[in-house]
Structure 1
Amino acid sequence: MLQKLIVIVVLSLGLSGHVRGETQLEADIKGLYDTFLTAQNARDLVRVRDTLWESPGFVWISDGKAFWGRDALIERMSAFQQAEIWSVTPDKTRSRVVEVSPVSAFLYQPLRLTLGPKADAKTIDFLVNVLCVKTPQGWRVAALFTTEENPN
């Protein structure tokens, strides 16, 4: 009986190091991204804009080009969203939050973007890195760095 108890305690201690709950920072950053993503998929550019850092330093790197400021992102995204199909699906099992400081963090978020005409929509796998900053209004997206995922 004592031997079984020792085995259970040892296994419990050994496994407890592998089980980790989500931190508040991780929940906040993932929540911000979920709001951003939901607004994109709803084609609600007002809500998308609300998730972005209100600064001329905001940048979106897309297709090898820099788009500075919230207005530039909204203008570019609105052009993409003219497509009949627009759907962003994150792979949440692969996402990671990296704290940079108490007021900044990166979110690494692989995703699948499907867009285009219904008869010929294209699906592209992207890796997105999102720099988030804490403002008096809460967490905001300060920068988006996107690149196509290389499957090799």
Structure 2
Amino acid sequence: MLIKSNASSVTVAEIEEIRSLFLRQAAGETAHDLNVIESVLAHAPIGQPDPVNFVARAYRFWGREAVVEHFREVFKGTWRFEPVEEEIRILPLGPDAAHIYAPTHITAGAPGKEAATFTFLVNEIAIRTAEGWRISAIVPVPAQ
């Protein structure tokens, strides 16, 4: 089956906007700033299903509120999200969606426990919304 793509309708300026969105998310995570997390995640249009999800090997969160609550818990301990900026790739998937790929060092540790750093190949989907580009899906894949 041949899939017709309108990926070229995502402009170079929008690619930079998506990159900035992702870097804002990364800074917000490292700063443990839930307001930033809430600002980068997509909202569902009225009458539409919630487009936000976070799927990792160890867990799955469906819906914006579940993802925000996940970060609320993670932020109680050590959490740093540090993408390798020169390796970030933004790939348009169509006129209203783009794939973000970013090798990322994530340092995590429960409250009072020693933290460890791991490398993940973070994959995210950004979608065009009435508020601009926002994150819809987060899928970190361990690099090891």
Q: Same fold (TM over 0.5)?
A: yes
1:145 aligns with 2:139: yes
- Identify if the C-alpha distance between structure 1 residues 114 and 137 changes in structure 2 by more than 3 Å, giving closer, same or farther: same
The runs of 4+ residues in structure 1 deviating greater than 6 Å are none
1:58-81 CA distances to partner (integer Å, 9 max, x unpaired)?
Answer: 111023432111111111111111
Corresponding residue for residue 25 of structure 1: 14
Corresponding residue for residue 63 of structure 2: 69
Pairing partner for 1:49 from 25, 38, 45: 38
* Deviation larger for 61-70 or 72-81: 61-70
1:33-77 CA distances to partner (integer Å, 9 max, x unpaired)?
Answer: 011111111111122111101132311102343211111111111
1:40 aligns with 2:33: no
Higher RCO (CA-CA < 8 Å; seq separation 6+): 2
Please report how far the alpha carbon of residue 25 of structure 1 lies from its aligned counterpart in structure 2 after TM superposition: 2.5
Paired amino acid for 2:82: T
Corresponding residue for residue 5 of structure 1: none
User: RMSD over aligned Cα, in angstroms?
Assistant: 1.8
| Percent of aligned pairs with the same amino acid | 26
Corresponding residue for residue 127 of structure 2: 133
Pairing partner for 1:94 from 87, 95, 119: 87
List gaps (5 residues or longer) in structure 2.
Answer: 1-10, 45-49
- Take 1:45 and 1:82, find their aligned partners in 2: how far apart are those partners? 12
Corresponding residue for residue 4 of structure 2: none
**Secondary structure of residue in 1 paired with 2:128:** strand
The number of residues matched between the two structures is 128
List gaps (5 residues or longer) in structure 1.
Answer: 1-21
1:69-124 CA distances to partner (integer Å, 9 max, x unpaired)?
Answer: 111111111111111x2211101121111001121101101100112267721001
- Take 2:76 and 2:101, find their aligned partners in 1: how far apart are those partners? 27
1:121 aligns with 2:110: no
